[in-house]
Structure 1
Amino acid sequence: MSPFKLAAAELRRFRGHPIRTAALIAIILIPLVYGGLYLWFAWDPYGKLEHMPVAVVNEDQGATVDTNGQTTAINGGDQLVDQLKEDRIFDWQFVTATQAAQGLRDGDYYMVITVPADFSTRLASLSGTDPEQATVEFDLNDANGYVAGIMASTVESELRNQINTAVYVTFATTIFGDLTELNQGLTQAADAAGQLSDGIATAQTGATDLENGLSELTTGAQQVADGAEQVSDGVDQAVGVAQPVVQTLADNWTQIQTGAASAADLAERANDDLTTVYTTLCTDDTADADACARLQTYIDDADTANDDIQNANTTVQSTTTDTLDQASDDLTQLQTGAADVATGADQVADAAATAQNGAGDLADGLTQLKTGADTLQTSLTTAAQSVPSTNPADDADNAEAYGSPVTIAETNLHPADTYGRGLAPFFIAIALWVFGLMGYLVLRTVNSRALAGPLHSVPIAIGGWLPGAFLGTLSALVLYLAVELGLGLNPKDALDTVGLSILVILTFTAMAHLFKLAFGTAGSLLLVVLLMLQLTSAGGLYPVETTPKFFQVLHPLLPMSYVVDALRVTISGGETSHVVRTLLVLAAYLVGSLALSSLVVASRRRWRPDRLNEPLQV
């Protein structure tokens, strides 16, 4: 008969009556009841602190402080109460001192926070020469639950931030007066800086346009200067030629006038003579018509020339020497003026270039000024936002920043996220061990008929272990599904977690089978003892280094230490080498337990009288 047939025979023993079937179902559900319920109730207790009642007693009587000749009333206690109302870390109960003391004794409150009467007075002293430290009292009662006190202590730093925020606002009020006015003033200054920045931006655009226009003006002015220089050179040449001629005419003008008059008389007489000749020769009928016609043409040309000569003479006679001298002077002034124009055009070009450079410097300066105005606006806005409001609702979200300006940047390579998920490896391991402990209270460790038959000891031992291994595997799967679907375990490596859980239950049932087979009822007690030793040495709750030396020695010797270590890796992540080491250790425990069970079975096949009555039975 094979071990599997022996296992099937053992399971068939539970057929036929509902109680026997219910017993098998019960041992399958034992890990679920133990591990599942415990993880459910402890999954995220720190996420529900707002349901823990904590009393707040405000006995502060307020105080006044003189700031710049003005008296300002402050009340740090009221500020703190308003702060706590806005951020409900706990279920705050605002009561009197008598109610708080009675409630702490009766267990109605897990902690009492008391703001003493001189709270604001001590805060007001911070603005003087003899400052005193204010105090807030925390009262606990471990009789109401030590763990509850620990949970309250874990958020004490956050609570301290809330208190410090209220103190910060009150202290700032004593130093600076009305923080609202300070905030408004800074906000208005920031707005003005923004308007200044906008105005500078407009001026910056104008300066850029001015620089561009002056650039064009500089180019044009330089072209004008070059043209004026050319004109001046041309005038110099013209005057150099014309002025000697004019001066010579002025010096000889009287003679020229006399000659012109004589030329005019000669032309007039010549014209008259031609007219007389024509009258004499061409009035007769016998005159030659062709010759007279040619003569008339000469007379007409002579008239035209005479008119020109007469006009020229008139002009010469009307022009005086002074006029010519003035013309000579005018040419000199023209030459000087052209030179002045050329010089002025050069100066204009130089001035335009200088103005262009100045406009560029202005644009650069305005850019720097705008940057400074923007920085000023940003700084003023930041300063305004940094001033805490006297309204606690505005400060609740900033309590941590105000109360603790310096924070610690913490990273976690493999976060567990919740309290229950962090403890899941420990409680899953415990639940699987409990299955082995409880399973063999119902299952038989060995088939008696097979023990008396010819079958070898190894198949008999394995056949006695397989029913527990099979039911334990079902139990491990049920536990995993319940924790995954019901609580959201969401392991990093689901298949590895399931596979490891199956190997764990196979090993733990093999060990439970061995102890129960070897020691009977006493084996169950030994399994309980082993459970207690593993609970304290596995490092599931506290680092093993913080435990007494005895448990540190046990830690590497017992299998649950390795199970917890490996499940942490498959659930939250970590080094794969830890899982490999656990697999080797569990395999060694599994094979060793089955080997020892085979030896125990072999020893049981030799009957002794003392086996008829076991020394301890349950």
Structure 2
Amino acid sequence: MSAAVLHSITADRGALRRRRVRNLLVAILVPLIVAGAYFAGLAGAEARTSAIPAMIVNNDEMQTPTAPDGTETTVIAGRLVVSALTDPDTATGFDWQLANAKTAKAALDDGSAYVVVTIPEDFSARITGIADEGATPATIDVTTDQSHDYLSPAIANGLSDALTAQFGTQVTEMVAVQLFDGIGQTATSLRDAADGASQLADGGTQLGSGVAQFADGQSELSTGLVQSADGASELSTGVTTYVSGVGQLSSGITQYTGGVDQLSVGITQYTSGADQLAAGVGQLAQQTPGLRTGGQELTDAGTQLEGYSSAVTQGTATYQEQIRPALVALNNSTEGLVAWCAALADPTLKSECETQLEGLAGTTGGVDGLVSTLDGATGELTAVTDGATDLKALGAGLVTLADGIDQLNTGATQLSAGSSSLTAGASDLATAGDELESGATQLVTGGTELEAGASALATGLGQLRDGQQLLVDGVAPIQEGVGELTSGASQLSTGLSDGAAQAEDAVGDPDALAEVVANPVQANQAMQHEVSFGEILTALILPLALWLAALATTLMRRLVPTEAYASMASNARILLDATRRMLLPLAAVLLAVMIIAHGFVGVPVGAAFATLGLGALCAIALIGLHLLFTTLWGRRAAAVASIGLLSIQVLAMRGLVPLELKSPFVETLSGLLPGTHLAAGLQLAYSGGSASGVVMAAVGLLIIAAVSFAAASLVIGRRRRSKPSLVAGLAAGRRELVAA
């Protein structure tokens, strides 16, 4: 046997030995990886039994019941429930957090809370009234959601039983103590009430006597009020008549005052005229000396006229210079006095003035004639000389005229003095008239107010009379009521005494009270987004089936042949060919699981589109993940890595057991594994849960697929660039082996 053959045989045996060792190591390593993954994923699960997130919504309202002895007690039963659940020493299996109703509902919908315990508003009210007639048990609402976890509702059911049992015992003890204490206090209170009712009966008798006396007094008062009302009515009538007379008096005083005012005005005018007359006559009297002197001279001149024509001429000049102006002034003054007298309003004053001026009027007429005569005489000196006798007579008349003017001046002065007194009297009369008018006005005002007061008094007394009559009429029913009160108080006293003797045996409805006291606290369990066992089984099995199909395909087929690295194909083309090699087995598995789930297990046919869509995305993500492992380490190492991740994937799916019970590294890796997103999406789709959660599951699968394919493409490119000759040699050897 040649050395070459011996070397070949030895080499083949070495290779076979190494292959057996490698296979043995793989056979030992794979179970160890799976077991290690499970141990690591579930290590410390017992210590994390209180890490499951749950929320408490405490809507309870505080109650302050009053005991029979008057003491008040504050009851906040809801706070006791919260304290018991959040107590670190109480093992409930949940991590309780306080929240409001809106926050708790959102957390339950998105899976961040597994259980929501709601304490209603009337929890304390029902606890404090548990021994009352018609009482109902207090309730606690426990709500779970199966769209994220299947077994949490079962844990919550156990929690509900524990809560009702724990608080039911406490409430039963409290009710029993209150009930028996209340019975004793009720008996004592009934006896006290009986004593009070007896005293009430005695007081009712006394009240009846007092009411009878009150009725007599009211009857007498009613009679007096009737008489007072009649008198007030007559008073009102008399006051009305008085006010009417005062009004007429006021009207007459007003007219009188107006006449006094007119008289005062007339007297003022009269006084003014008298003053003017005195002034005019005074001025005329100032001319009388010249008039008297001229007359005397005229007489003397007449005597001498006959012999002294020059004296006539001189007398004529004297007449023109002194006598004639005085005569003209006298005539003018007389005419003014006549006009003033005619304008006087007072008849008495006017008559007296006219009497005084009658003589003056004759004198003024003579003066007028004299002036005319003298005027003619001044032009006829010859005639004057011839009429010397007449001239003497004229001189004598002038002297007489001067004397009359002096008398007229004296009378005018006396008339002016009398008019001043008359003016003062008229002023006093006007002042008194004003005061009289003011008093009459006040009298009218007072009379009007007196009339209004009398009318109001009459009306008020009438109303008081009517009200008093109603009061008298109401006394009779009061007397009857007092009698009934006395009788009822006696009966009440008797009944309360009997009730006090029977209070120890009276506890209401024993059966109803026993039922409520036996179960004082109840839990109302509600489950939203409920899923069947077949639906949760499908959500868990489909990811595992697709993963196993991808693992088996990786082991059975060369996904990326060695010659592909040396080919001219692009990285994307190489990955596309590898995807086609894995696609058929995974599609077959997906179709088979869908037929079983929707045809036999009971998953609704309407959810088939969700199963198909999410399953297809998960299959693509798994293909990308296994292609990445294959390009990195080869298919055998890729299979080992796939089995290890599959073990973690089984732990990471939260369909049966809450993810919070598993180790932190499982929680971290769960979001990076495609089966987690597929199981969560299917569970939400089957239960009718959040549509956004289904969309997020699909987005998560797409991200895993995109990242896996991109990383596989980078690995292929790196290997093609790092060792191109080795890749070409391996490809050539592969072709020769295939040809042989």
Give the greater-gyration-radius structure (CA).
2
TM over 0.5: no
| TM-score of the aligned structures, taking structure 1 as reference length | 0.33
